Chain A
Amino acid sequence: MVMDQAVYRPHEGAAGPLAVTTTGLTKRFGDRVVVDDVALAIPAGSVCGFVGPNGAGKTTTIRMLLGLVRPTAGSGTILGGSLTEPATYLHKVGALIEAPAFYPQLSGRENLEVLARLGRLPRTAVDPVLERSGLLARAGDRYRSYSLGMKQRLGIAAAMLAGPELLILDEPTNGLDPAGIVEMRSLIRSFAGDGITVLVSSHLISEIEQICDYVVMIRAGRLVHQGSVDILRATQQAEFVIAPEHDGDRDLLAGLLGQAGCTVAPGDGAGVLVVQESGLGAAGLNRLAAQNGITLRQLAERTRSLERAFFALTGTESADVPDGQEMGAIR
């Protein structure tokens, strides 16, 4: 089901004050439109997932919010400051953009001191963020000796240095091992507990689903959806995986389900069907099969996931940007 413009609700669930708003945000590199007319409305205090496949324009959007890339068109406000004047709001923003980038020959602490001095922050601001990111014990070691997880944590520490009201994290779990990913999720959740608005981007929708209460979906540079995660999940139709005891009954079962108003598609495996039902529920499906002499060997409801919602909204089954819409070096 492709999202219809008529039912598209760009600011669904965004009641209350907004930390980030944009209107018509657009970025072109030559002939390529990397971000196209994006209107963001991110509620203050939310943990907002910014999802989309590789090449969707997430990083370019984030760079525009941080004043690193100049928008071709559009306007916006971040924490009340105009997008065209980053100096008015960036002192309240912390950011980790793509892979953490520090000076290899300096220690973790010295790297943060470089940023603290630049931002006119006291040197005493450094150790608390090192402690919170779990790096205090290794703060004196050179950055080049850090593992990938430690580098990522130093990036988070740098983002926290100014005591931000808005934290922008671009793919913060990239390259982390499973334990590191769990740690990172827990760290991000803890920021929300402090009242910080968090905008976290990822191409892994399932990851966003676990930590975010608000989601912005983008694909091929265009906004697909934004709103509350719970509301988005609730709007999804229930979907069942169903299989008759005898494979030969599959076509009969598919016909009966079709007559009952269900949308039926072949599933993985012999005799398996995927059914988008129309109000029957699991019991109704089972009853329909039994009344027609078919015993079911499988009847399971699929979890309503953001991933399915994303694919439903974009009308695709692929996470990649279609041919001809690649974003090049900049995402």
Chain B
Amino acid sequence: MTWAAFTSEWTKLRRPTLLWSTFLGLAAAASLFVILVFSQATAHGGIVTLHQLAQPNGLVIGVARAAMLLGVVAFGIAASQVASEYSLGALRQLLVRQPRRAVLLAGKMLGVVTFLLAALCFAAVVALIAAVAAAHSRGVPTAAWFTGTGLGDLFRELGDLALAVIGYSVLGMALGQFVRSAVAAVIIGFAWLLAVENIITRIVPSIQQWLPGQSVLAVASGGGEGVGYAHGLILGAVYLLAAITAAMTVFLRSDITA
């Protein structure tokens, strides 16, 4: 039954406008960071040096820096996919065909998450092509990128990004379920992730490691200064479980009046 809800969700997600805007949007965001990193790199000092870019993990440095932007885009798309069911009124049609609400929501979440993971894979391929081209233009040797170590770093980083995208997507869908308005969900989510968490962290730095956005970001970037990777992974998983439980509870108990 969840499979039916999943394939039904994909029928909506694969519409050309949404599919291409998501896939190209994420690819553009990832490529932008790659090109910026390579264009701003210098022989000595700066954000990153040309020598660092020539290391086995040089291929993924740019993509890793795009994690926050990729996450925010995934969050917004996931939130709007859930909330728009309420604003369009389509949810009542869906629930007549699938009255088991847990099945419907599980299938929808699975559909949206796999859609965004597919978009991430596409963005990664485009960004890596952009990285090779940028390396060539800056004279950065790329031989180390394609060694066993380099490919290991690449897949580890892509795995972390995938986990982060899952985290941002689920948090976005949970917020969309509570707010029931695509615009409000995106505004609240973006404000929280981009502004509120940063302000809180500046005022009370010790809270940083307990914030949901910072936890997921730590996973995406393989651990940061304020939040360790393992801590981010565990806390992120706790936040995700809490978000899924809360969204499911609200959905199961609410009257559908939209």
Q: Which residues of A contact B (CB under 8 A)?
A: 63, 66-70, 86-87, 90, 93-95, 97-99, 101-106, 110, 113-115, 117-120, 158, 161-162, 329-330
Contacts and interface: CB of A to CB of B under 8 A. Distances in A.
Given A99-B89, A105-B18, A66 B96 contact: yes
A104 B18 CA distance: 12
A114 B93 CA distance: 10
A234 to B, nearest CB: 37
Of B5, B90, B257, chain A has the most CB atoms within 10 Å of the CB of B257
Interface in B80-119: 88-90, 92-100, 104
Contact of A106 (B12, B89, B257): B12
Contacts of B253: 70
A66 B99 CA distance: 9
A105 B257 contact: no
Contacts of A67: 95-96, 99
A101 B257 contact: no
A66 B92 CA distance: 9
Given A117-B8, A117-B11, A68 B90 contact: no
B98 A68 contact: no
B255 interface: yes
Interface of B: 1, 4-5, 7-8, 11-12, 15, 17-18, 88-90, 92-100, 104, 253, 255-257
Provide the main secondary structure of the chain B interface.
helix
A103 B88 CA distance: 7
A29 to B, nearest CB: 8
Contact of B15 (A98, A105, A115): A105
21 contacts: A63-B255, A67-B95, A67-B99, A68-B95, A68-B256, A69-B255, A69-B256, A93-B96, A101-B89, A101-B93, A102-B88, A106-B11, A110-B11, A113-B11, A115-B94, A117-B7, A117-B8, A117-B11, A118-B8, A118-B98, A119-B97
Given A118-B104, A120-B1, 7 more contacts: A63-B92, A63-B257, A68-B256, A97-B93, A103-B88, A117-B7, A162-B97
Nearest to B84: A103
B99 A86 contact: yes
A330 B8 CA distance: 29
Contacts, number: 86
Provide the main secondary structure of the chain A interface.
loop
Contacts of A118: 4-5, 8, 94, 97-98, 104
Given A69-B256, A97-B92, A115-B93, A103 B5 contact: no
B89 A158 contact: no
Contacts of B88: 101-104
Contacts of B8: 114-115, 117-118
B97 to A, nearest CB: 4
A330 B95 CA distance: 18
A18 to B, nearest CB: 21
B195 to A, nearest CB: 31
Contact of B17 (A95, A98, A105, A330): A105
B113 to A, nearest CB: 18
Nearest to B104: A118
